[in-house]
Chain A
């Protein structure tokens, strides 16, 4: 039987790993290559790397000097893929099929599209045609208004689009996306649990797998995401700030009766 996946998300900003809160507070936490290597040693299910840089500057001043200078995200990807014997998804700043190709040829198995797909939805179709649907993950950042209404935001959670998240997920599926990654702007880094209502609505609206992200504060939060319909549960901060994040996360899922790979 197909197992539910547990996925660490690494955020890359200007060449350094960061933890994120509310999509705009970014605290430097480490070296992008070493962290991926550590997750590989832990035998994790899969890895998602998101380049959230807004500019082309790469700052490695805080690095410990033990790795060679990596002054470009593609060089980082190339290095990461050498020690990554698990599926690797790479996202952020992907605007064309050429951008996808540059990442897939350097070892990414899947790429995510987000803002650019809202501007030009045919990017999903064009990518799926060249690399197959399984390689195209539609990443959706969602803002929940005070009224409870949800809306798709782009440009790193800054720009409202007027799109309804469920409708957008369905059009993304129709255009050829193979998976949907959902993130909640307000729940980013606040550790209060997933937006379960959102996960439930999107998971029941599409047939393709949904990866839930944003809000995990305790290992127990994962199971609720699966019960709401997600095929995979992802998180970022908890992987950096808790010990044995993979084993304990998996144990919490097993305890809740979820079939995972141990």
Chain B
């Protein structure tokens, strides 16, 4: 069966590159404009570039939250959050004031901070990720992989059990998480050449 990827269009970020990545692997993609379309796809991707508050505001304004929770949390559809799409899973975001997140994975999104003056923020570029759980997105991988990051904030989950990858930029931070069918990465697999495409391929292989 061809996997049908639904990419949520909530006005945040570059949907085109996410679609290009999955299509190069043979999947079909659909850019979803309304929540009612969520039930018709096999896998759901929440991409996102931008600020936490704007992201949640747009998800709420588009009426996405309830349908997403129904499809992903109650029905267990494979879900992938990318960059801001990972941060929005948290309980609270702290970018430009405190904002409520989806609260699917309890935790807080905090600004990346370092006392080392040579550490530049935003964290932009390729960095190594230490893989701590070799199932799910990292199936078949064990050695550290290099991915493309671009962000100033990081997700700090309350439970360390959900952490699947760790990265370091001045301080160690969470590069990826998984909780049941909910997968998410702080980095951009769709912009991480072969290493990133390998992860997208693993996501396609996850069955509902």
Contacts and interface: CB of A to CB of B under 8 A. Distances in A.
Interface of A: 1-5, 40, 43, 45-46, 81-82, 84-88, 104-109, 130-135, 178-179, 207-209, 231-232, 261
A131 B51 CA distance: 9
Interface stretch (B12-20, B36-44, B64-72): B12-20
Contacts of A232: 125
A133 B123 CA distance: 11
A209 B17 contact: no
B126 interface: yes
Contact of A5 (B14, B16, B126, B196): B126
Nearest to B190: A85
B126 A45 contact: yes
Contacts of B122: 133-134, 178, 208-209
- Which of A46, A104, A109 has the most B CB atoms < 10 Å from its CB? A109
Interface string B127-153: 110000000000000000010111110
A231 B190 contact: no
B162 interface: no
B62 interface: no
A108 to B, nearest CB: 8
B125 A209 contact: yes
A86 B120 contact: no
B193 interface: yes
A108 B150 CA distance: 14
B193 A2 contact: no
Contacts of A87: 148, 150, 188, 191
Contacts of A134: 49, 122, 124, 150-152
Nearest to A5: B125
Nearest to A104: B14
Given A2-B169, A5-B126, A209 B20 contact: no
Interface in B9-41: 14, 16-17, 20-21, 24
13 contacts: A1-B128, A1-B169, A2-B127, A3-B125, A3-B127, A4-B125, A43-B194, A81-B16, A85-B17, A107-B14, A207-B120, A231-B120, A231-B124
A178 B122 CA distance: 7
Interface string B183-196: 00000101111101
A109 B151 CA distance: 13
Contacts of B149: 2
